[in-house]
Structure formats: C-alpha cells, structure tokens
Amino acid sequence: MSEPNTPSYPPPPPPPSYTPPPAGTSSNRTLMLVLAYLGFLAVIPLVAEKNDREVQWHAKNGLVLFVAELALIVVLSILAHIPGVGCLAVLMFPIIGLVFTVVAIFGIYKAVNGQRLVVPGLSDFADRF
C-alpha cells in the first residue's frame, strides 16, 4: 500500500527571544536607559537607580560622552578665535553635534535592547567610576 498524500507544512516559527529584566529591577528601567544618553539628564538614572548595575553603566557611559562633547566644543570655541583656523573650527560644530547625536541614538538603541555601546577610550574611562 502507498502512503496517503498529506500536505507538508512549514515548521512553526521560533518563539520570540524576549528575556525579562533581572529580578529586582524597577518598572521604569527603559526610561532610565534612554535618559542615560541624553546629556546632563544621565545624572537622573545615576542617582535614581543605584541597585541596577546595567543602568549605572549606561548612565556613566552617557555622562562621559556628554563631557567629551563639551570638551570638544570648548576646544573648538577656542580655535574659532584663531585667524585661519577659526573657519575650519566653526565648520566642525555641526559635524561634531551630528556625530554625538548619532552616537547617543545608537547608545539608546543598544541599551534598550540589552547591549552595551563601547566607545574605545571613553567607555574604558567610564568603567573606572
């Protein structure tokens, strides 16, 4: 006898890869991770979420990025007053702003997805605190 023809169906899709936050984390963890990369607002998760090591790491990383941006702006402001070099320094302001904005958005994206944005040099400096 022959086997009956049964249609073959594709296998079911795998379950979504959701990992719940660790026990003891607050309900506003996502908000704190977003605030960690919004300049001076990174102080809020740094102070509010003392028990969450991941939020603390992102807040420190965000603060170091913010301080690096401020330092670069100060250096460019000083260079802007030097004849000849000033024109190039002034043109660098929007580029620096765009680069740090993209890095902050990428940092938020990675933080919300449970990853870390490691910026060579800056993230190592943030780990010291």
Token readout for 96 is 């620096």
Beta strands in the chain, from DSSP E residues, in sequence order? none
**Number of folded domains that form the chain:** 1
Contacts (Cβ under 8 Å, ≥6 apart) of 41: 35
Domain that holds residue 57: 29-127
Residue 15 lies in a domain: no
Q: What is the pLDDT of residue 96?
A: 92
Mean pLDDT value across residues 110-119: 89
What's the pTM value of the predicted model, to 2 decimals?
0.73
36 — pLDDT class (breaks 50, 70, 90): very high
Q: Is residue 57 part of a domain?
A: yes
Confidence of residue 108 (pLDDT cuts 50, 70, 90): very high
* pLDDT confidence of residue 20: 52
Q: Is residue 64 part of a domain?
A: yes
Q: Is residue 38 part of a domain?
A: yes
pLDDT for residue 1 is more than 70: no
Is residue 95 a part of any domain in this protein? yes
